[in-house]
Every structure is written in C-alpha cells, then in structure tokens.
Amino acid sequence: MTSTPPAPDLPDDVTVEELQRLCVRFATEAARFIRDERPERVGVAATKSSETDVVTVMDRRSEELLHRLIQQARPDDGILGEEGADVAGTSGLTWVVDPIDGTVNYLYEVPAYAVSVAVVVGDAHSQGGWVPVAGAVADPSLRLVHHAGRGRGAWTGPEDPASGDDPVRLSVSGEDRLARTLLATGFGYDPQVRARQAEVLLRVLPLVRDIRRIGSAALDLVRVAEGSVDAYAETGLNAWDLAAGWLIVLEAGGVVLGAGEGEASSPGKALTVAAGPALAPEVRRLFVATGDAAG
C-alpha cells in the first residue's frame, strides 16, 4: 500500500513555495467573490449529471475569475476545471480548480461550500497519472483558507492575513479503531449510484461511531486533515473534487487511498479514502469488501 506519490520535478522557473502562495491567493479571491458578490437569488444555469446536480451562474463566474487569475500569473500552465472550460498548457503544470465545491449547499445557503485550487504534475485527465504539488481550499463562510505545499506541511489561516491570527498547522486524528471512528462521506447525484451507496452505508454504519454527510468533498478532506473527523470515504470523485484536499491530508500526516493496486491505488472515481495511517486501510476494507467501491 502506498499513499504518498513520489516527489515530482517542477519547471525551473517555479518553486513549491511560490505555487502554494498562488493557490492561496487564487482560492481566496474566488471565495471572496462567491460570498461578497452572491446575488439575492442564485440562478441555476444548467444541470450536469442529473437534475439534482446543478451548475449555478456563480459557478461559471467563479471559474472565469480563476482562469483569468491563473493565466495572468502562469500563462503557460494548463487548467482543468469542473465546468469544462479546459486549457492546454506547455509547462508540465496543470491547475485543477473547483469554483464552488458544494454547489447545492451554496444554492440553498447552507454554509458548507468551498473553492478548491491545486496545481499538479502529470496528466490530470488520467487515473493515477498525476500528483498534486500545492493546493488550497478556501472556506468563504468561515473566512478561512486551508493550504499545503509538498514537503511544507498543511495549514489553516485567516482569509485576511492582516487579521493578526497566526496560521495553525494541521494534523490528522490518531484514532485507530473503527468502532470509535467518526466517518465523513458523500453521495453521488445519479439515483442508481445513490441506491448502491445507501446499501454500503447500511453495512458500514453499525461498525463506526457515526457518519457525517457535509456536502463538500474538499471540506471533508480538510476535516480529516485537521482531525475534526477521523476518516472520509466516498465514490465518484473527480480530480477537481480532491486535488487540493488530497495534498492537505498528506501534509497533515494522513493517508489517501483508492480502491485497488497500481494506478487504482490513487484516489478517484472508484473510491477515495482519507484517514490517519493506522485507520485508512481499515476504512478502505469496509468499502471494497464486496466490490462496493464501484459506485
């Protein structure tokens, strides 16, 4: 079992520190935008995978803002985003962005949504073909930004650095027993996928302390990194859902696993599990025991 991909090579013109700083700036600016410029009534621009999977007007405007910021700072880098306006790059770096993670929460004014920005090396379109090198998850409701750079630890700090509050270093829970585990999870939008996920939870729920469903994969991963939940497991995640959170968990001392071996050991659609090193394999076994990870 491996959870930490090998350290990637970066272009000569950039450092992890600089990329981390840019992730924080871009995620924070987009978070302020979706909070401060939110209209009284948020329009639904389209649906994605199903009628319950919405794209808001603010999703698109936030992604346009992120594209503009990235291209101004790093014009040769690629961009992969949830709303599909991808940009091919030539530098070997790709920015993986989710302009609003937790769109349904945002639509209903439930204060559990985020902006996720990460920069990765490799083919961000392929399972197991990429690794994150820097990332940030900005929480507009709490005015916090969670961030990490490879080899630089994971941190939570105020949205406004001038607030006087120092960043706090994150560390995953030390819990190692399933029966005492507070497990975060999420559900897909396709009705058949939801039905399978419900069947899995019927088996899992009696084996853990309790389950939380927050509605934002990025914030779930942050909660693992800060130890406010012990573990997280979900099927159906895309690169933009997990890129920044994956690195934040790793840099907080955690483990992030996929459903299988080789390329499938990387987190992704089949399964994403995040927890402390002692707990992660146990949680993973819960979700792959009978092929249930194929959500």
State pLDDT tens for residues 183-193: 999 887 777 77
**Averaged pLDDT of the chain:** 88
In this structure, the answer to whether residues 225 and 125 fall within a common structural domain is no
Residue 251 tokens read as 């840099």
In this prediction, residue 56 carries a pLDDT of: 76
Asked if residue 5 belongs to a domain, the reply is no
In this structure, the answer to whether residues 107 and 219 fall within a common structural domain is no
Q: Which among 169, 192, 223 is the end of a domain? A: 169
In which residue are the tokens 């900005």 written? 138
pTM: 0.91
In which residue are the tokens 């959500």 written? 295
Q: How long is the chain?
A: 295
In this prediction, residue 24 carries a pLDDT of: 98
| Least confident range of 76-90, 128-142, 205-219, 244-258 | 76-90
Q: Residue 264's pLDDT band (boundaries 50, 70, 90)?
A: low
Q: Which residue has the higher pLDDT, 267 or 128?
A: 267
Interacting residues of 78 by C-beta distance below 8 A, sequence separation 6+: 86, 87, 88, 89, 91, 93, 94, 95, 124
Query: Is residue 232 pLDDT above 80, yes or no?
Result: yes
How many domains would you assign to the chain?
2
Asked if residue 10 belongs to a domain, the reply is no
In this structure, the answer to whether residues 189 and 162 fall within a common structural domain is no
In this prediction, residue 126 carries a pLDDT of: 86
Q: What average pLDDT score do residues 135-143 get?
A: 98
- pLDDT tens, residue by residue, 12-23: 889 999 999 999
Closest to 285 measured CA to CA, from 172, 163, 182, 200: 200
In this prediction, residue 2 carries a pLDDT of: 40
In this prediction, residue 202 carries a pLDDT of: 87
In this structure, the answer to whether residues 238 and 120 fall within a common structural domain is no
Q: What average pLDDT score do residues 216-224 get?
A: 98
Is residue 157 within 8 A of residue 144, CB to CB? The reply is yes
| Least confident range of 87-91, 132-136, 227-231 | 87-91
Is residue 155 within 8 A of residue 41, CB to CB? The reply is no
In this structure, the answer to whether residues 22 and 156 fall within a common structural domain is yes
Q: Kindly report the backbone phi and psi dihedral angles of residue 4, in degrees, each rounded to the nearest multiple of 5, phi listed first.
A: -110, 110
CA–CA dist 32, 29 (Å, integer): 5
Q: What average pLDDT score do residues 220-236 get?
A: 97
- pLDDT tens, residue by residue, 95-108: 999 999 998 899 88
In this structure, the answer to whether residues 142 and 211 fall within a common structural domain is no
- pLDDT tens, residue by residue, 147-162: 999 999 999 999 998 8
In this prediction, residue 9 carries a pLDDT of: 78
Q: Which residue has the higher pLDDT, 125 or 215?
A: 215
Is residue 134 within 8 A of residue 19, CB to CB? The reply is yes
Q: Residue 1's pLDDT band (boundaries 50, 70, 90)?
A: very low
Domain of 154 in residue numbering reads as 16-169
